[in-house]
Amino acid sequence: MTVAFDYTRSTGPVIGRFLTGLRDATIVGGRLSDGRVAVPPPEYDPVGHQAVTEFVDLPDTGTVTSWTWVSEPVAGQPFDKPFAYALITVDGADTPWLHAVEVASPDDIETGMKVRAKWAEERTGSVTDLVFVPDSVGLDTPPPSGSGGSTSDEVGLIVTPVSLDYHYAASPEESSFFRGLAEGRILGQRCPTCRKVYVPPRGACPTDGVPTSEEVELSHVGTVTTFCIVNVPFLGQRIKPPYVSAYVLLDGADIALQHLILDIPAEEVRMGMRVKAVWKPRDEWGTTIENISHFAPTGEPDADFDSYKHHL
């Protein structure tokens, strides 16, 4: 499973200056109140706490302060081959900068080694605009010229993709639920003590703490208990706003299921509205709740509030 979103932030006058420098093939440091130069420059002095306003253009060479070897790179790292991460003190700076060093093996890097920047041909104002290589390595092209001192067309916004991949081990009850979806069925589990039906199922009843041993096939029809109208667009959004995300209490269930409400104007969705599951074409089914495209109104009269007031 993957949880992912694009994180967008404004850079501000300090980080923006630094990223603009990288776009222009210049490493920019910030001078602190005690005279030291920090790379990257902090927005506020860690000693005096005042805003950092003095910037220094630095060479693109430096020294490895310490390093670690990455033998098995993962997605999102600078290389798809083994490489080193190192703390690099750029010449003229007093604080180290964590960055990638392109070397073939751990025998090719050591503390105290001189390195220099290998700049990308196309730069956007990101730390990925460069990697470091040993200073002894010859580069095919000379370092690009540029200046980080320009105040026009600065990098003001950055978009950082954030992604987490993980393997999810379904419990026996959850496995039955997902396999049921692949068959066009919605399955829950009933507590033998309080008789509550949970969907998606739970291995134990949160009320009584006993195993939910009885499988129950539920109706594809239910009642909207609470809902939210999504009006704000965001990157990666699959549906154009406005649309409704709601909790649907399926007939026979004792816990509401969250899903989309479509086929009706967002402003007409209401608590108590009766809805039914709309399934995707069968050839698109898998073992996922996304087999149900959305819920849509049934046209029945709204449910009485007392029938769902304990499920809000």
- Is 114 in the same domain as 104? yes
Query: What is the percent of the chain with per-residue pLDDT over 90, rounded to a whole number?
Result: 81
pLDDT digits (tens, 9 = 90+) for 181-221: 999 999 999 999 999 999 999 999 999 999 998 999 999 99
Position 242 pLDDT exceeds 90: yes
CB 179 within 8 A of CB 58: no
pLDDT of residue 312: 87
- Is 73 in the same domain as 196? no
The beta strands (E) that lie in 11-156 are given as 27-31, 37-38, 55-58, 61-70, 83-90, 97-101, 114-119, 130-134
- Is 145 in the same domain as 26? yes
- Is 44 in the same domain as 157? yes
- Is 207 in the same domain as 279? no
- Is 185 in the same domain as 280? no
- Is 83 in the same domain as 123? yes
Residue 204 is classified by DSSP as: B
- Is 40 in the same domain as 155? yes
d(CA 27, CA 59): 7
CB 17 within 8 A of CB 55: yes
- Is 11 in the same domain as 94? yes
pLDDT digits (tens, 9 = 90+) for 269-306: 999 999 999 999 999 999 999 999 999 999 999 999 99
- Is 90 in the same domain as 27? yes
Bigger pLDDT: 95 or 141? 95
What backbone phi and psi angles, to 5 degrees, belong to 141?
-125, 150
| Count of domains observed in the chain | 3
Instruction: Retrieve residue 249's tokens.
Output: 């209490």
Domain boundary among 152, 184, 218: 218
Instruction: Show Cβ contacts of residue 302 under 8 Å, excluding neighbours closer than 6 positions.
Output: 270, 272, 273, 274
- Rounded to two decimals, what is the model's pTM? 0.65
Instruction: Retrieve residue 34's tokens.
Output: 């005690």
- Domain of residue 146 covers 2-164
Cα Rg of the chain, angstroms: 28
- Is 122 in the same domain as 224? no
